[in-house]
Structure 1
Amino acid sequence: MRDRWSRFQLLLFWLTVLAVWAFEVEARKRVKLGLHKNPEPIEENIKNELKTLSIKHKLKADDTQATTKQDTKSQGTGSRVATLENRYNTEYYTTLGFGNPPQAMQVLIDTGSANLWVLSSKCPDSVAPCANRIKYNSSASTTYRAINSTFSIAYGSNSEDGPIALSGFQSQDTVNFGGYSIKNQIFAEINYAPDTAFLKSEFVGIVGLGFSSIAMGGITPPFYNLVAEGLISRAVFSIYLNRNGTDATHGGELILGGTDSGLYSGCLTYVPVSSAGYWQFTMTSATVNGFQFCENCEAILDVGTSLIVVPEPVLAAINQILGVLDATPSNGVYQVNCSTVSELPDVVLTIARRKFPLKFSDYVLRYGNTCVSGFTSMKGNNLLILGEIFLGAYYTVYDTVYKLIGLAPAVH
């Protein structure tokens, strides 16, 4: 009788363990990230990526290319040479389902913005970015609801009003995000975009993962609705980027509602958000070869750009240390010598008293026999923007309630 009772207790214990495990699995969803090679020459990607950054951060876009002072060396994320015409930048995207029945749309994930928008079927083919594209068709959805509000995202310019980068109108529908159906999600349908808005990318929208305070029009971001509707138990998401992926199924993972300790090594280091808009924090320091280019400076994590963006004066000094081959290229792309990149120093970022080094293999991008740098600058920007060059090396966690950022070395 005692043995039977012991076996019963053991069975009960394992059933409890399995139930807890099942709850944890259900409480977090993995969203596979596709990795798309952008079929544009590197020099064109640099120019348009700076414009994209200006849209998000409301800065002045340079209509030519980013350049630095004549007497110093500088660098960016690509190369100006003709041999780079077939080399491409990287984008991380996932598929969301809009409406009922669901319409599958590939959207870029972006921690530097907070809105969800997608190309609209009401955007005519005469608007270049909308031509021959998959677009959301509200008339094909039984759960669609019209909202009589316009939507726009603008970036600054020398004109008084400034050009509108993207414009459209708000709509409401069911949105499937990572296997969760969000009811009555408000998002933007875009019916106008400038010719260079999407290049030849496969994505037809963006899902913003920034704080709701920076959402245009006061629209509640999808992640906040996941929490509000009780679809996830923790207001946390985490991101793992695969920098070596070459197809649409191995780009990385966006985990909604939790973390995965198998994707990083060691312990997570947490730092408080200093300003809840972007995922912004105060970085203790940043150095390269003894040159300190940050001391208690403000930085943001930005999945959505492949670059590390530093203030203009800082870029000039960094690139002089790295020895770029052309200090003032006409296309804003800065090349380094491939034969000596292994001798380049580590870039060391100190966050919450922990060092996060970037080796040359992290911040130098190789395209065949051409090597370019992952650093750039942008007019009007005083933040240190850590894009996918940094985020590919480190697994990151984002807590919207406690306003914390977690970081640890990614396991590749």
Structure 2
Amino acid sequence: MTIGNPPQVLRALIDINWKSLFVPSVECQHSPDSSSLCRDYVRNFFNGTASSTHRSFGAAKLVGYDGALFKGLKASDTVRIGPHNLANQYFLEATSVTPNDFVSFYFNYDSVLGLAPEQIARDRGSSTFSKSPEHRSPFQSLISEGRLERPRFSILLPKPPRLPTQTRTGGYLLLGEDDPIYFKSKFLSIPIDSDSVDKGLWKSAVTSYSFNSSIPILFPAGSIISFDTTLPFIHVSEQLARTIKNGLPAEIIPCDQRSALPVLKFTISSITLELDGYDYMIEWYKNGEIKEQYCRLAVIGRSQGPKDIMLESIFFQKYYSVFDLESLAINITPRLEDANIT
């Protein structure tokens, strides 16, 4: 992603449940109010004074994001995402951020690109949103301006290797289109609850689960499964987390033992989502040394109650995923490089 004229490159974290775009200002690294995030971790800053098309507006704004508080100004400039150019796109230009623990799992991204869903209104046959341009995300701006073939985006996330002889695979984001290499693939369609779309979230009703058993266990009525792309974890109730931990030899294992682990299944309507040991065990490196690699359980128990489950990037890494606002569905198919992996 680039912003400004001439273009300035920024690495954006894709967040499918965040509604806007914010970027770090060059002022952030010099602000006495900032934590070590701006000084030590962010590599690319946006310099508005160096862009001929940059504008800033009004008083300072505060944005809370995953435990961090970003302070800055609303601004607009030319934003480029792949082949798409957006003139006068609004965003938050962050000049300070606190506290400093935000970056611990975000792997040195500079900015956050929000792709949260929203109900689409139809105006004379075209797609649009009720909100004014200054409140639209880049994705919503592209839809409202009729720049996309369809109101959807597709993601292939970077993926760590399953076997020692393999390398990490890359990823990409496509706005309004599908990757043609998947045209003949068979997709599994996950229906998204329309009420959750109104709240800017990708959620669906979940009915049951099974782990190391052929007998499904029913969830309480009204249970919800949420989807996210930012962190490599699976969030479940504390009770289900204990069930999973008790069914494993240990929470930390040698990575070559993942293939022998049981399968975790979630049922959504008539659809079953399966996660094997490669999906719910995450690779870690002791002291940053590749030779000291091990795998640990990525399932986290939380106290919000038994009705809330969240599948994050560790689930989507094995799929090519299409997020469709028109049909209110997430359509997934195994990524092609996994076809010969057993």
Provide TM-score, normalisation by structure 2: 0.77
Residue in 1 that maps onto 2:100: 195
Answer whether contact 2:68 2:102 (CA < 8 A) is retained. Answer: no
2:298 pairs with 1:374 = yes
Shift, 1:302, TM fit: 0.6
Q: Does the 8 Å CA contact 1:111/1:302 hold for their aligned counterparts?
A: yes
Equivalent positions of 1:303-382 (< 5 A) are 303-324=229-250, 334-336=251-253, 341-367=258-284, 368=292, 370-380=294-304, 382=307
Cα deviation for residue 299 of structure 1 reads 1.2
The CA distance in 2 between the partners of 1:265 and 1:345, in whole Å, is 30
* Deviation for aligned residue 1:196: 2.1
Judging changes above 3 Å, is the alpha-carbon distance between structure 1 residues 170 and 230 closer, same or farther for their aligned structure 2 residues? same
In structure 2, which of residues 105, 109, 113 is the aligned counterpart of residue 207 of structure 1? 113
* Secondary structure, counterpart of 2:78 in structure 1: strand
Q: Structure 1: which 5+ residue stretches go unaligned?
A: 1-95, 157-162, 325-333
Gaps of 5+ in 2: 120-130, 285-291, 338-342
Give the one of 225, 233, 248 matched to 2:141: 225
Paired letter, 1:363: Y
Note the 1:129-148 alignment, pairs <5 A: 129-131=37-39, 133-148=43-58
Answering whether residue 60 of structure 2 is matched by residue 150 of structure 1, we say yes
- The question of whether the paired residues in 2 share the 8 Å contact of 1:293 and 1:314 is answered with no
Q: Does 1:181 align with 2:85?
A: yes
Distance 1:270 1:319, change over 3 A: same
Could you say which residue in structure 1 is the equivalent of 2:323? 398
Distance 1:323 1:398, change over 3 A: same
Structure 1 residue 265: deviation in Å? 7.2
Indicate the structure (1 or 2) with the bigger Cα radius of gyration. Answer: 1
- Alpha carbons 2:207, 2:218 under 8 Å: kept: no
Aligned to 1:13: none
Separation (CA, whole Å) in 2 of partners of 1:110 and 1:385? 14
> 1:184-234: per-residue Cα shift (whole Å, max 9, x none)?
111111122222222484311110111258x9x982111011112222121
- The answer as to 2:82 corresponding to 1:165 is no
- Tell me, what secondary structure is at the counterpart of 1:129? helix
- Residue 117 of structure 1 is matched in structure 2 by 22
Are the aligned partners of 2:189 and 2:331 in contact in 1 as well (CA < 8 Å)?
yes
* 1:281 matched to 2:204: yes
Superposed, 1:49-88 pairs within 5 Å as: none
Aligned-pair Cα RMSD in Å:
3.0
Distance 1:189 1:139 in 2: 12
Query: How high is the sequence identity, in percent, across the aligned residues?
Result: 27
Does the Cα contact within 8 Å between 1:264 and 1:395 map onto a contact in 2? no
User: 2:187 is matched with which residue: 268, 272, 281?
Assistant: 268
Instruction: Mark the CA change 1:135 to 1:247 in structure 2 (over 3 Å): closer, same or farther.
Output: farther
Name the CA distance, whole Å, in 2 between partners of 1:99 and 1:338.
44
Give 1:369 shift.
5.1
AA at the equivalent of 2:312: G
Q: Does 1:238 align with 2:163?
A: no
- d(CA) in 2 for partners of 1:240 and 1:345? 25
Separation of aligned partners in 2, 1:355 and 1:380? 24
Once the 2 structures are TM-superposed, how far is the Cα of residue 410 of structure 1 from its aligned partner? 2.4
The answer as to whether partners of 1:265 and 1:409 remain within 8 angstroms in 2 is no
The letter of the residue matching 1:244 is P
Residues matched between the structures, number: 299
Give the match for residue 288 of structure 2: none
Amino acid corresponding to residue 51 of structure 2 in structure 1: S
